Every structure is written in C-alpha cells, then in structure tokens.
Amino acid sequence: MMAQGALVVSLKYYGVSPWEVEVLYGLLHDMFAVEQIETEQDEDYSTMVDVFFPLEFSDEFFKWFGHMRWDKVKGILKEMKRRRGVGRHIKIYLRFSGKPNIKFIVDIDEHRLFNTALEKIDFILELLQYQLDPQKIPQNITDVIYMFDTSTNRWRLNTAFSNDKKYLIIENEWKLIT
C-alpha cells in the first residue's frame, strides 16, 4: 500500500517486455509510488516509454534520486534500444514537473547516438539557468521540450508552450507557431 503523501511517478509504456517493466518499476519504486500504465500503440514505434517524475529537473533531484540509480535507469533504456535493433523502434519521454515542466524526447535511429543522448541529459542542468532565462524565452512558459540534435551531439531547447500558444526555435529565435 502506498504511503500517504508519497510522490507518484507515472510509468506509461507499450511494447515493453515484462522483464524490462519489472526492472524499470523496481528502480522507480525504490523512491516513488509508481503509477504503471500500459497503453495501446499510438505512434510509429514498436516501443514507447514515458516516465513522468513529479519533481523539478535539478541538481537536488539527482542528489535525492541518486546518480547510481539514474545511471541504471539510463542503462535499462539503452538495453531496450539494443534489443530492438537499428531504426526508429523505440521512443523515450523523460518528463519532469516544475516551472516550467521539462520533457526530453529520445527517438534516434542509431544506437551510439541514442546512448549519447541519454548520457547527456544530465549536462542540461548546467545550461538551464541560461536557456530558461525569462529574458530569453517567451512569457509565461509552462512547458519546454528538448530534442537531441544529432548533427552537434547536443540537447537543444526546441519547443515551448505558454497558455494556448506554441513556440519553436527557428534560426536561434523563438517563433510563435499557434
């Protein structure tokens, strides 16, 4: 039974083996109550994993969650990619609540780049204060999406949402899309 007031992480997935679910669940269950949701395939990927952490993406998160445990989470995600082979077979969403909410999307064909993307998520911590500076981003942002740029091997701030508005970075400038 879940302790009252326990933080709840959402683990949503499809196309994941029972062993893979068990390992991910075990890593998350050590620190959170886990809401596990198996969904129907709704994208052109044979496997999708969406983990929503109810905490802000910050140094404090990694200190609390533990770098070793985080490395194990990345390790199981890399193993899932390895088991599915080359191509767009797996899509990973790693989401964190906060102001703004932050989402990382990993859907890279090539193994090495997929692994690099997962390894470099931690590096964004050093850039957050600059990239999310209120003077540099649109007003009242609630959510941002990071995509991995395979040409530079770096995570790039890609999309931002504010109320009913969507912004994309085009030629190093925020452009209102909707």
Spell out the domain ranges in the chain.
8-133
pLDDT of residue 5: 61
**Model pLDDT for residues 68-85, shown as the tens digit of each residue:** 999 999 999 999 999 988
Distance in angstroms (rounded) separating the CA atoms of residues 137 and 76: 34
Residue 60 neighbours by CB under 8 Å, 6+ apart = none
**Model pLDDT for residues 87-122, shown as the tens digit of each residue:** 779 999 999 999 999 999 999 999 999 999 999 999
pLDDT of residue 27: 96
